[in-house]
Amino acid sequence: GILQHPDGTVLKQLQPPPRGPREQDFYNKVYDSDCCDSILLELREHLPKYFGVWSPPTAPNDTYLKLEDVTRKFNKPCIMDVKIGQKSYDPYASAEKIQQQVSKYPLMEEIGFLVLGMRVYHVSSDSYETQNQHYGRSLTKETVKDGISKFFHSGYCLRKDVVAASIQKVEKILEWFESQTQLNFYASSLLFVYEGSCQATTMRLSDVTLAEKTRVPKGLLPGGDVLEYNNNIHVINSTENGKIEASVSKGLSKFYALHKKACLKRHHSQLSLKVENSKQDNVWKSTTCIAQEHLNGNVLPQLEKVFYHMPAETKESANVEVRMIDFAHVFPSNTKDEGYIYGLKNLITVLQNILDN
């Protein structure tokens, strides 16, 4: 698995030959300090930054690739890994290997991508939902759109701002592939990361301001053991006495309490709901007037309307990363990587359908 280095980078253990050395050679070539190839220099924009190799003092023969932690800047990172291309086996694979890979997901050639897993933060329950590779392999041509849209759902609403920003990022990667004939990529993935929390979002209901701040759930227990999220235990916090307990957000109940208090204090028939994001330079504001008689004690439908209809500038500036990862099967070429291009185009089409519908 991926390890965390104390300096904030991540460590990916080098795979056995020939895969490990091939991935190391790829990074060394792209990040060579003397590199003057414009194609490779542009490719750097779409990869995690590479900081060479590292070995622990206690095991000098164990080699790790030292890479940028793409999730580091996020408070509640939502992560999805999507394998791209029509073939998940390289040109030198044996017949047995080819059959093995094809049997894992027969639709790979037709769809051009495969969801390997996702981890999504739900604001509504202050919890994470995790899906593994079996989830992705269960998706068909008919269900793949809904399957991927799950990654962009906050528990309250579809994050169309993130979908739009993701499309722009993937289109940039497609432009690079359309311009190069040097490399072909097999069994390589795109890593999608976006901010799942709305910690910096302040909701003003009448004259009451609610700024809900949540702590980042840690992935390590006090003893240093790695904690895995699954579909049964969503958010886990370690208590002082070492016990593990599920955490449930009280944000919603607080909001209802404040809403009720505001209703009692106000004598006119309308409330103003203002949502603003103070984290970004170009602050966006959306104001919705809600008639008191239509609230019926439940402000959530109105909240959903606000978040569903974010302005275009918010969609463009959503905090999203899309990076290419996994390069154990990258080979020199003199033609365009049509299989990867096919997968990117199909993925963009699915994302666009999610955004439009």
1 — pLDDT class (breaks 50, 70, 90): confident
Cα separation values, 290 from 263, 274, 304, 313, Å: 12, 11, 13, 24
| Gap between the Cα atoms of 204 and 290, Å rounded | 13
Query: Residue 348 has which token pair?
Result: 């963009």
Query: Residue 144 has which token pair?
Result: 């793949």
59, 41, 85, 75: which is closest to 3 by C-alpha?
Answer: 59
Cβ contact 156:124 at 8 Å = yes
How confident is the model at residue 44, as a pLDDT? 98
As a whole number, mean pLDDT of residues 216-225 equals 40
Q: In angstroms, how far is CA 60 from the centroid of its own chain?
A: 33
As a whole number, mean pLDDT of residues 108-136 equals 97
As a whole number, mean pLDDT of residues 207-236 equals 37
Residue-wise pLDDT for 68-118, tens only, equals: 999 999 999 999 999 999 999 999 999 999 999 999 999 999 999 999 999
How deeply is 73 buried, as exposed, middle or buried, from its count of CB atoms within 10 A (0-12, 13-18, 19+)?
exposed
How deeply is 278 buried, as exposed, middle or buried, from its count of CB atoms within 10 A (0-12, 13-18, 19+)?
exposed
152, 219, 195: which is closest to 321 by C-alpha?
Answer: 195
Q: Provide the β-strand partners of residue 153.
A: 158
Query: Residue 42 has which token pair?
Result: 């542009």
- For the chain, domain boundaries: 1-69, 70-198+318-356
SS3 category, 128: strand
> Which option is the CATH number for 70-198+318-356: 3.20.20.450, 3.30.470.160, 3.40.50.720, 1.20.960.40?
3.30.470.160
How confident is the model at residue 14, as a pLDDT? 97
| Gap between the Cα atoms of 160 and 145, Å rounded | 14
127, 144, 152, 202: which is closest to 308 by C-alpha?
Answer: 152
How confident is the model at residue 318, as a pLDDT? 80
Contacts of 59 (CB under 8 A, 6+ apart): none
For 303, list phi and psi in degrees, rounded to 5.
-60, -45
pLDDT above 70 as % of the chain? 67
| Gap between the Cα atoms of 347 and 357, Å rounded | 15
How confident is the model at residue 357, as a pLDDT? 87
Residue-wise pLDDT for 149-202, tens only, equals: 999 999 999 999 999 999 999 999 999 999 999 999 999 999 999 999 975 443
**What does pLDDT average to over the chain?**
78
For 152, list phi and psi in degrees, rounded to 5.
-100, 10
Greater confidence, 195 or 264?
Answer: 195
How confident is the model at residue 286, as a pLDDT? 35
Contacts of 337 (CB under 8 A, 6+ apart): 85, 177, 180, 183, 184, 185
SS3 category, 40: helix
User: pTM of the full predicted structure?
Assistant: 0.70
